Structure 1
Amino acid sequence: MPTTDPAHDVLRSESQPLDVFFKPKSVAVIGATETPGSVGRTILQNLLSSPFGGTVFPINPKRNSILGVKAYPNIASAPDPVELAVIVTPAASVPDLIGECVDAGVKAAIIISAGFKETGPEGAELERRVLEKARAGNLRLIGPNCLGVMSPLNGMNATFAQTIALPGNVAFISQSGALLTAVLDYSLREKIGFSAFVSIGSMLDVGWGDLINYLGNDPKTQSIVIYMESIGDARGFLSAAREVALTKPIIVIKAGRTSVGAKAAASHTGTLTGSDDVLNAAFHRCGVLRVTSIADLFYMAEVLSKQPRPRGPRLTILTNAGGPGVLATDALITGGGELAEVSLETIEELNAILPAAWSHNNPIDVLGDAGADRYAKALQIAAQDPKSDGLLVILTPQAMTDATATAELLRPYAKIPGKPILASWMGGETVAAGERHLNDAGIPSFAYPDTAARVFNYMWSYNENLRELYETPQLPTDPGVEYDIARAEQIISDVRKSGRTILTEPESKNLLAAYNIPTVETRIAATEEEARRAAEEIGYPIVVKIYSETITHKTDVGGVQLNLKNADAVGAAYRAIEESVTAKVGAEHFQGVTVQPMVSMGGYEVIIGSSIDPQFGPVLLFGSGGQLVEVYEDRALALPPLTTTLARRMMEHTKVFKALQGVRGRASADIAALEQLLVRFSQLVVTQPWIAEIDINPLLVSPERFLALDARVVLHPLDTKEEDLPKPAIRPYPVQYVRTWIAKDGESVTLRPIRPEDEPLVTQFHETLSERSVYLRYFQPLKLDQRVAHNRLIRICFNDYDREIALVAQRQLPGDGHGDIVAIARLSKIPGRSEATFSLLVSDLFQNQGVGSEMLGQLVKIARDEKLDRLTAEMLSENYGMQAICRKLGFTLTPLPDMPQVTYAVLEL
């Protein structure tokens, strides 16, 4: 059975869980009425006039018929099974109605009614009851408080909008029903078509992730545009978006850019993060394109469906008027783009076809008397320049300009590989016909050149983000080996047992040391004499700081004394700190001092930190550090966990990163090592969930070393339950599935989840496969260059561990620090079901060693750990080895009735 994407198994053609909302065979309107202008009447009328081919049942206990259609007193009395219920009754009645729907076997419901959690505690309790009843019957819900669902491709309109959207290839999801109707009106005027039009409401059940998964699998949807007010299930959204964004653009406009509000934070990090900045980091991490206007939502959906993404930020502007070219340039540069340098070869070719007065630079001004031929020839030459990543053609209607003929001659350039072409035909009726020709040819046209330049900036930054997300990171040390997780857990446990939530500076540094983050030597001195003795042993100059189990900001209480050069100075510092702390906050907050060497700077101070965002859980921060960290606000945010690539991209968004690379004759810091340090810090954050806030400030970064000079850690309140601890929005590396196994020949093999860093090893693995092994796995022959293409391997190596877990079997080779991969097994969850598929491939050099049985057995264990109900696979009937492994583990094997050459394996868990 051939596959379209050999990196993943293709599921058998089955109805998707959300099909019932878009392709129902029967719909009941509960609360249907004939009252003019009512929601119940409008929805019923829309459904009755929809050509979707399903049966419509009005439900109203007080009417025998509505709009000429027989009505029924309740859902149970409908003469045929109902797949979808649309509920428009008062909120208080909805829980019982959902119960009736469950009893009647209804698969899904759209709750139009308002009056739920937005009204307060009573409404929230109604929602709880609704969800409880729905889940008891596995009934899916959209809403409450929504406009409904349209499926324009099959004509279904289960909304109370005045009309249905035009059919097309854009899916639009909105949390605001009012905005959805406004966009509907706009789309009808602009002739924008939709594959789906969904008002998602309060997202009691079906959320962003569910719909992105569904629409991502819909072949008729080319792009997904979203109006968002709240993120809801952050992990579900990010997981779905990261998967779908590789193949379909997801474009979001998010309302509400207010910050979370001031945090009573003991760490600097908490004062530097805000909700909108975190949201930007989250969108960046999952490949979502965020825009700031409704118009840009649809501009980008159109452009990304018609034109290739630019490889970089360099734009070539071709114009017949200088002013519009300057406006486009300003918009381009302001948005981060660049004017492409015009090569000497291109200038020489343009000299041959343009008047001597042309601009000889970019923007390429072909002058006001340019005819269609001159435009076309200039564009042909400019398009071939390798220093350009995209083209913008501007036309202003002048006396000798033929806007329509020029547009016609640009048609051949509508599809330039890897180089988008945009147009701005400025004017009204004079250029309208030309605009139509451009748009029909697939060249997006904009009324104003600055709009086109802004769109190009969105395009290249979007492409750059996707490229960065899936750039292969450096190989790290094996997870779990370089971290002393048990030691870190013990430090935190001891602090909590003592009744504290704030770690002392020495405890904080010991925690960092458990993750191989270098810290300055720090000794505790409970008396002045101990401080003197410690200073003598360490060596001068010395820093003395307050040691306290309650104070974190030491400088606020006069708790730091620097550059102490002898014992008397140390003694005086001890007394000064004790007196200052006693006067400012009380003697009970003074437990002595810490003594540490005075480190000569010779580098830069940076801050690394993490705090909790209420939507996304732990968030990482990197930026300029020191006492003025809040003043400079030079920082970048990211979601953990990090790879080395993501760590570098995070640093690149700060100003201090340029300094770290070496300025004014200074040597560069070891950037690669700093990437690894950030990766280790991110692992600390995700593996120690009791940490609420942590920062290293400053971390000294110099060409010779990194050194944490100070650190503070704040834990969650003592009364927090473990199950209530915030979880990372992106599931971290599942270290619990790392184990050692001994093969039949006695060789030790590590079984572990795959990592993005494994791409080179996976390439080598494919080089060991025979044509027979490839055919049995993928149901078709695949050449090596196809199997190891980067765009394919990223789908194998970059796992979202919430959606899939691929295991590799890795053995060590003499003299090789990384070893080689001898087998890969994959468990892929099916969105919307408690079910997963599996696949397995073993190197020909390592077959018959028992690794296949061991890895499939591990996948079965993982499936049970993940609380799945079913594990399935399809395999060729001639794949006897795989079938034997399945039988050994209890799978049931049956030939597929319609494809006898394929065997279906299933294990009920």
Structure 2
Amino acid sequence: MSATITPTTDPAQDILRDDHQPLNAIFAPRSVAVIGASEKPHSVGRTLLWNLISSPFGGTVFPVNPKRSSILGIKAYPSLADVPEPVDLALIATPAATVPGVVQDCVKAGVKGAIILSAGFKEIGANGIALEQQILDIARRGNLRIIGPNCLGVMNPLTGLNATFAHAMARPGNVGFISQSGALCTSILDWSFQENVGFSAFISIGSMLDVGWGDLIYYLGDDPCTQSIVIYMESIGDARSFLSAAREVALTKPIIVIKAGRTAQAAQAAASHTGALTGSDEVLDAAFRRCGVLRVYNLTHLFSMAEVLAKQPRPKGSRLTILTNAGGPGVLTTDTLILEGGTLAHLSGETVENLNQILPPQWSHSNPIDILGDANPDRYAKALEIAAEDPNSDGLLVILTPQAMTDPTQTAEKLKAFVSQHRPKKPILASWMGGAEVKAGAEILNQAGIATFPYPDIAVRMFNYMWQSSYNLRGLYETPSLPATVVTDETLVCDRAQHIIQSVRQQGRTLLTEFESKQLLATYQIPIVETHIAKTVEAAIQAAEMIGYPVVLKLHSQTITHKTDVGGVQLNLLDSDAVTHAYSTIKNNICQTLGAEHFQGVTVQPMVKLDGYELILGSSLDPQFGPVLLFGTGGQLVEVFKDRTLALPPLNTTLARRMMEQTKIYKALLGVRGRAPVDLDALEQLLVQFSHLVVEHPAIKEIDINPLLASEDRLVALDARVVLHDSETPESQLPKPAIRPYPHQYITHWTSKKGVDLVIRPIRPEDEPMAVKFHESLSEESVYLRYAHLLKLSRRIAHDRLSRLCFIDYNCEMALVAIYTDPQTKEEQIVGVGRLSRVHGVNEAEFSLLIRDRFQHQGLGSELLRQLLSIGRQENINRITAEILADNFAMQKVCEHLGFSLKRVLGEPMFRAEIEL
């Protein structure tokens, strides 16, 4: 049993559909009303109208002004209601106080898009915020989408639409540009004319009252004329929306961001180690890595990277080969490459031997490949062809300096011919150094799609950006490994942890004791050191003798968190006398300095030999992104070394490994100076489990494991600290993770008509190997009914496709897999998949079903679709649709049984199934 869906949400097909996209009313309007149109010189209303009529976009313009019968020779109308034709887009340039009434008029007139250029909203404080909320409430009642307020407007250079008050129209091109700063837009516009940069869209987004980053990234992602997306960002806004859209679009179109305010710190740092070490800019970097967005720090780099990533293949790694006719630039370029994180490629023996055959004996015999100052175009071409074949290289940089024997133009022609003939799978960048003498050659290279830079250090920075972008994208869709130890009942684990948290909150506390913190970790299978509570010295001695000497005594307190700072830790206690003395010392330290109410006894733990590495693993809250994970070098000097990296939860094993790789301690964990490596697979799993603990319990405000001892044969949390939100904070107001965690609530058990027990659950990235076997089991008929053509098995099981189908964003898509466990082998198999995919721009979703042949006609398709409908209701989706082949009678029957209406698609051999939720 199968159901097809439209190509919009099927990664197997590349055709994009833009019908019913609400933002088309803004970017491709048939008619525009200028509300506040004026003839007053230099006014926004006059400039808007003039720009619209002086750059024809193929539509009609209606000035609206109650005091004028015509403006700039065009008939004007006293109100929007008086406009004789339907209006797609309203440009609003009236005082802020009047805007709510104007928006109300737009809703009454059925306008679907508006751009509010007026200022005087949230940037002026509370009154402006209230005004924005009033406007938004009105707009949502009428399904009106709004860009702004306080923005420059929108240009669509490809159609000629200039709905801005800028002084000129942008050149057409393939870069989609979005900016929060209207002033920067005008500066970029001037710069683009000088540098001959063209745009597919030029958008000033303003204060993002309604349309935000996510909406525009999806829109430009679906736009076939946009090859890359460039963003100037001042604030993230809806973090979850941005991350969802960016992660999906960045796989097919590069997204490059420059973010203002790098030095701005987050709110007052929390008391925990993690909170003190995190800052908003570092968190933003982590967020960009997680969704495949490339961050740059220079406006020139912003557009250079848009061009490079759109035209050049992405490098698979950081290894660069440098080909030059001058030693000095090669050495300086190597410095920049290494210092900024790149790697100088090591030439293979075959490459060196081949270069020996065509180069003078004096060549460098290493990378950089110095082909000497007398290199002619043929020598360049032959050396390039050899270097490009080296398997040790991920990219090439060709440097040319004008010397006596140099021919910049002909060398450029040779390089152009090589690229067009061989179409190398690694990027080739060029630096034609010099002025007028090399200008013609540089232009040839640029026209051939070879990014060319005046200085090689700039080219190296571009290469480093490129491989960093590739590294981040690969991390998103590498198939993670299966857990070494599978949690048999994830719901039970979550419930046990929740019981500990609720017990503390019910006591009116926000701080867990060390003992409670470790018990919380243990519920998620994070190894902890054996710990006993002793409220008397006798109990402490008894616990010590049960554990075995030497032991450690630590303060047990419901109010004090950093025990070492207050004399609350006694180490290496060898006998009962030492325990007695240590107990008294801790009690006296606390009672005399802080008060007896802070002393509730001690904990007794074995004295653990620090024969490994002390790590820190923690989480604290970011005001924009919610929980943020921290991993790095731990111990008492954690703030001194500051060797840490941040990531957004939840993690899988691939993302956990990526997180570890970004720290300096990672090289030591691999094994150094004869020391055996740490069990990195186990450490990955620990990070994954910790991330699940964080996202599944939003009542956790801060959590630290410091130190987490990692050695050759064990991982153990020696100390832990957990801070909760107070019990008065309602569940609905607890911070949510920016990336939606695994939806455990949709796991169910179901029995087929033949009595076969199945587990139906949301798909996981780790399911990719099972998905391959699932597709291998399908008949040609099932494949045809699902995809409306016989999609080859090799394409269906390709990693780039299956990884996207398995590693989904649960905020945008929900895929349920039916899992059958073979009673003999205990092997799990996917026997059915049901998918619900949101449609960009509207609150609708499309479903698809695919059932393994031998499990068809057992009610599984009906059950999966029934559960998808239930999920749709819980996710507040308004409508669910699918397109079903006319000869797929079984799927049509299932849909009708569950309340879908079926309508024949004109001119196509299929039905459209639709249901309102």
Determine if the TM-score, normalized by the shorter chain, exceeds 0.5: yes
Q: Which residue of 1 aligns with 2:907?
A: 898
What is the 5 A alignment of 1:797-808? 797-808=806-817
Deviation at 1:96, TM superposition (A): 1.4
Measured in 1, the distance between the counterparts of 2:712 and 2:464 equals: 35
Instruction: Give the 3 Å change call, closer, same or farther, for CA 639–479 of structure 1 in structure 2.
Output: farther
Question: Does 2:443 match 1:436?
Answer: yes
Question: For the Cα contact (< 8 Å) 1:524–1:547, is it kept in 2?
Answer: yes
- Name the residue aligned to 2:724: 715
Matches of 1:8 and 1:860, distance apart in 2: 24
State the secondary structure of the residue aligned to 2:453: coil
Secondary structure, counterpart of 2:910 in structure 1 = strand
Q: Which moved more, 1:853-862 or 1:573-582?
A: 573-582
Q: Does 1:150 align with 2:159?
A: no
Q: Which moved more, 1:257-266 or 1:340-349?
A: 257-266
Range with bigger deviation, 632-641 or 662-671: 662-671
Distance 1:317 1:212, change over 3 A: same
Structure 2 distance, partners of 1:380, 1:645, is 35
Instruction: Measure the CA separation in 2 of the matches of 1:606 and 1:339.
Output: 31
Q: 2:331 aligns with which of 302, 326, 329?
A: 326
In structure 2, how many angstroms separate the alpha carbons of the residues matched to 1:422 and 1:583?
69
> C-alpha distance in 2, partners of 1:842/1:639?
34
Q: Is the 8 A contact 2:700 2:724 kept in 1?
A: yes
Q: Which amino acid aligns with 1:666?
A: R
Mapping of residues 23-172 of structure 1, within 5 Å? 23-172=28-177
Does residue 624 (structure 1) correspond to residue 633 (structure 2)? The answer is yes
Cα distance per residue 1:791-832 (max 9 Å; x no partner): 111121011000001110001114545511001110001122
Q: Is the 8 A contact 2:12 2:796 kept in 1?
A: no
Matches within 5 A, 1:350-499: 350-415=355-420, 416-476=423-483, 477=486, 480-481=489-490, 484-499=493-508
CA distance in 1, matches of 2:668, 2:335: 28
1:224 to 188, 204, 229: 229
The structural deviation recorded for 1:737 is 0.4
How many angstroms apart in 2 are the aligned matches of 1:263 and 1:190?
Answer: 43
8 A contact 2:30–2:58 mirrored in 1: yes
SS of structure 1 residue aligned to 2:802? helix
> Of the candidates 850, 857, 875, which is equivalent to residue 884 of structure 2?
875
Q: Contact between 2:323 and 2:369, CA under 8 Å: does it hold in 1?
A: yes
- What does the per-residue CA deviation read over 1:173-229, in whole Å, with 9 as the maximum and x for residues that have no partner? 000011111111111111111100000010010000000011101111111000000
Contact 1:148 1:199 in 2 (8 A): yes
2:149, 2:576 → 1: CA distance?
71
Give the corresponding residue for 2:310.
305
SS in 2 for 1:907: strand
Note the 1:791-802 alignment, pairs <5 A: 791-802=800-811
Counterpart contact for 2:177–2:199, Cα < 8 Å:
yes
Pairing partner for 1:251 from 248, 256, 268: 256
Tell whether 2:199 aligns with 1:194: yes
2:506 pairs with 1:526: no
Extract unaligned runs of 5+ from structure 2: none
Note if contact 1:482-1:515 (Cα within 8 Å) is conserved in structure 2. no
Shift of 1:778: 0.5
Structure 1 residue 536: deviation in Å?
2.1
Distance 1:328 1:482 in 2: 55
1:806–1:4 Cα change, 3 Å: closer
Which AA in structure 2 matches 1:643?
Answer: N
The change in CA–CA distance for 1:454 and 1:479 in structure 2 (over 3 A counts) is: farther
Q: What SS does the corresponding residue of 1:252 show, helix, strand or coil?
A: strand
- Partners of 1:842 and 1:864 lie apart in 2 by 23
Whole-Å separation in 2 of the counterparts to 1:457 and 1:202? 33
Paired AA for residue 230 in structure 2: V
The verdict on how the C-alpha distance between 1:735 and 1:464 changes in structure 2, with shifts beyond 3 A counting, is same
Q: Offset at 1:376?
A: 1.3
Please give the alpha-carbon distance, in whole angstroms, between the structure 2 residues aligned to 1:818 and 1:500.
46
Partners of 1:583 and 1:816 lie apart in 2 by 64
Letter in 2 for 1:80: E
Q: What displacement does 1:413 show?
A: 2.3
Specify the code of the residue in structure 2 equivalent to 1:295.
T
Structure 1 residues 37 and 262: CA distance shift in structure 2, 3 A: closer
Hey, what's the Cα distance between the residues in 2 that align with 1:266 and 1:420? Answer: 47
Cα contact 2:8–2:16 (8 A) shared by 1: no
Give the residue type in structure 2 aligned to 1:297: L
Residue number in structure 2 paired with 1:785: 794
Q: Which has the higher contact order (CA 8 A, sep 6+)?
A: 2
Give, in whole Å, the separation in 1 of the partners of 2:824 and 2:609.
Answer: 39
Give TM-score, length-normalised by structure 2: 0.97
> Contact conserved, 2:557 with 2:598, CA < 8 A, in 1?
yes
Alpha-carbon distance in structure 1 between the residues aligned to 2:78 and 2:522: 70
Question: 1:345, CA displacement in angstroms?
Answer: 2.1
- The partner residue of 1:641 within 640, 645, 650 is 650
Deviation at 1:8, TM superposition (A): 5.7
Distance 1:529 1:270, change over 3 A: same
Q: Which residue type is aligned with residue 498 of structure 1?
A: Q
Q: CA deviation at 1:260?
A: 2.9
Q: TM-score, with normalisation over the residues of structure 1?
A: 0.98
CA distance in 2, matches of 1:13, 1:262: 41
Query: Who is 1:559 aligned against?
Result: 568
- The offset of 1:692, in angstroms, is 0.3
Shift of 1:5: 8.0
Which blocks of at least 5 consecutive residues in structure 1 are unaligned? none
Separation in 1 of the partners of 2:119 and 2:517? 49
What is the aligned partner in structure 2 of residue 347 from structure 1? 352
Amino acid corresponding to residue 420 of structure 1 in structure 2? P
SS in 1 for 2:215: helix
* Alignment-derived partner of residue 908 in structure 1: 916
Question: Equivalent residue of 2:490, what SS?
Answer: coil
CA RMSD between the two structures: 1.6
Please state whether the residue corresponding to 2:47 is helix, strand or coil: helix
Amino acid at match of 1:167: P
Range with bigger deviation, 806-815 or 685-694: 806-815
CA contact (8 A) 2:256 2:296 kept: yes
Give the structure 2 partner of residue 291 of structure 1.
296
Distance 1:13 1:211, change over 3 A: closer
Correspondent of 2:854 among 834, 837, 845: 845
CA contact (8 A) 1:414 1:442 kept: no
Q: Distance between the aligned counterparts of 2:150 and 2:489, measured in 1? A: 47
Query: Residue 606 of structure 1 aligns to a residue in which SS?
Result: strand
> 2: distance between equivalents of 1:220 and 1:11?
12
Higher mean C-alpha displacement, 250-259 vs 222-231: 250-259
For residues 312 and 379 of structure 1, the distance between their equivalents in structure 2, rounded to whole angstroms, comes to 19
Looking at structure 2, the residues matched to 537 and 393 of structure 1 have their Cα atoms a distance apart, in angstroms, of 70
Superposed CA offset, 1:81-119 (max 9, x none):
111111111111111111111111111111111111111
Determine if contact 1:422/1:452 at 8 Å carries over to the other structure: yes
Structure 1 residues 335-366: Cα deviation after superposition (integer angstroms, max 9, x where no partner): 21112222222222222222222222211112
1:571-610 deviation line (CA, Å, top 9, x unaligned): 1111111111123222221111111111122212111110
Letter in 2 for 1:39: V
Aligned-partner SS, 1:570: helix
Residue 757 of structure 1 is matched in structure 2 by 766
Percent of residue pairs identical: 65
1:336 aligns with 2:317: no
Q: Kindly provide the CA deviation profile for residues 473-492 of structure 1, in whole angstroms up to 9, marking residues without a partner as x.
A: 01232685386111111111
Contact kept in structure 1, 2:171 and 2:199, CA below 8 Å: yes
1:541-620 equivalent positions in 2, closer than 5 A: 541-620=550-629
* Corresponding residue SS for 1:780: coil
Contact 1:483/1:514 (<8 A) preserved: no
